[in-house]
Amino acid sequence: MKVLVVGGGGREHALVETLAASPLEPEMHAAPGNPGIGRIAQIVDIPSDDLISLRDYAKENEIDLTVVGPEDPLIGGIAEAFWEADLKVFGPSRAAARIEGSKVFAKELMKHAGVPTASFEAFDGEPAALAYLRRIGDYPVVVKADGAAGGKGVTVARSREEAENAVRASFGGKFGAAGERIVIEEHLEGREASVFVITDGHEMLPFLPAQDYKRIFDGDEGPNTGGMGSYSPLMWMEPATYAAILEDIIRPTIHQMSLIGAPYSGLLYAGVIVTGDGPKALEFNCRFGDPETQVLLPRMGSDLLELMIASEVGDLAGREITWSADKAVCVVLASEGYPDSSSSGDEISGLENIPTGVYIYHAGTEERDGKFYTAGGRVLNVVGTGPTIIEARARAYAAVEQIHFEGMLYRTDIALEAIELEDI
């Protein structure tokens, strides 16, 4: 069996490693991949947004299943391109991927499905949005670019001035086409969590929830990033709360997608917040989260490849996902200047002799003459695992201390609050 993974970040490295370990013994391919992925898969020099070349490669090489990591190819219609060539792909259609591709679409979908979420208004132009901000008196508010912006299109504005600046930045081209429409919504208070399910459009198999950290600095300070770390499981989330998320947020969303003629298959990601009024949906993504995937897949006991195939052919009924009792903590190592800019070409040392219980996933690296160098904003994901959060976290940070590159940036408080909640 041959499997192609599209993408080249830490999420894709985790996917390739997990899929390669399947009892089905797949031959792994990755486009464009990265040096870490290259140790376990055949690297294909095709960008993840070149849908036609990816389709042709899959056809010519008789790829049995293509797994799409990043959102842009899904939003751009890679699934349809592959289906038209009679190729199997794990991921939603272009119509279904609008759930991430358009915040306005997602909010309207939630409203019609009865999904609890923040109140909102959508705007197509700057003057109307600024006029709305002058009318309202309650701050903070949340300003979101309509399109996918790599996790950086959301501003929690504490004042009208900050909200106006976010509106002007979006309509001024900061996020390109993604910012040509915006959503301004109520700010919700509570604990946030990431929830994944595999679905075939009818049945769904939930993953365990995970926590991610979007802000660049300790204490959730500084600008939003693509994600600076994560951990799983969540000791603070009660089973009844998780059940409510699945039944009141995820299930009605999948049902509503079918009702509008855009049935959703693949991986559905819900960003949720547990408020004093119960859980509410913040956003949906049409793919695996990054870096949450990196703490979930090492804990997965089921065959992910088998489940992906079952999702693609509509055969999830009666299946379940099993999990290790181990905990996992991911620390992201970023390059100097991230998220506004990033340095590259700095040599990375300390990747040798990584201890048992630690996974290193490459995100933005390149390899020259057997040495690794930085090649992106988020460079490496260091994941520690162990029977407790304390041990998993200690392993992750011990490995971080071993690694070095010029300007290396990381948070020191990943999963810190989880230690206080852990019952050991």
Structure tokens at 251: 């299930």
What residues are paired with 385 via a beta bridge? Answer: 328
Sheet of 266-275, strand order: 204-206, 191-199, 266-275, 278-285
CA–CA dist 133, 121 (Å, integer): 11
Domain 125-180 is found in CATH 3.60.20.10 = no
CATH architecture for segment(s) 327-421? Alpha-Beta Complex (3.90)
- CATH 3.90.600.10 in the chain: give the residue spans: 327-421
For residue 16, give the nearest of 369, 400, 361, 256 by alpha carbon: 361
Sheet of 141-145, strand order: 120-123, 182-186, 141-145, 154-157
Element (H or E) spanning 156, and its range? strand 154-157
CA–CA dist 107, 301 (Å, integer): 34
Helix (H, G, I), strand (E, B) or coil at 112: helix
146, 179 in Cβ contact below 8 A?
yes
Residues of the chain where predicted confidence (pLDDT) is lower than 50: none
pLDDT at 148: 86
Domain 191-312 is found in CATH 3.10.690.10 = no
- CATH 3.40.50.20 in the chain: give the residue spans: 2-91
Residues 6+ apart with CB under 8 A from 416: 393
pTM of the model: 0.95
Residues 6+ apart with CB under 8 A from 189: 273, 275, 276
- CATH 3.30.1490.20 in the chain: give the residue spans: 125-180
C-alpha dist (Å) from residue 45 to 9, 42, 54, 121, 367: 14, 10, 10, 42, 15
pLDDT at 424: 55
For residue 327, give the nearest of 400, 236, 235 by alpha carbon: 235
pLDDT at 233: 96
- β-bridge pairing 42-43 and 27-32: parallel
HSE at residue 280, side-chain half, CA atoms within 13 A, is: 18
CATH number of this structure's domain 2-91, picked from the four choices 3.40.109.10, 3.40.50.300, 3.40.50.20, 3.40.50.1820 = 3.40.50.20
Please calculate the CA angle 316-321-322 and round it to the nearest 5 degrees.
Answer: 155
CB atoms within 10 A of CB 292: 28
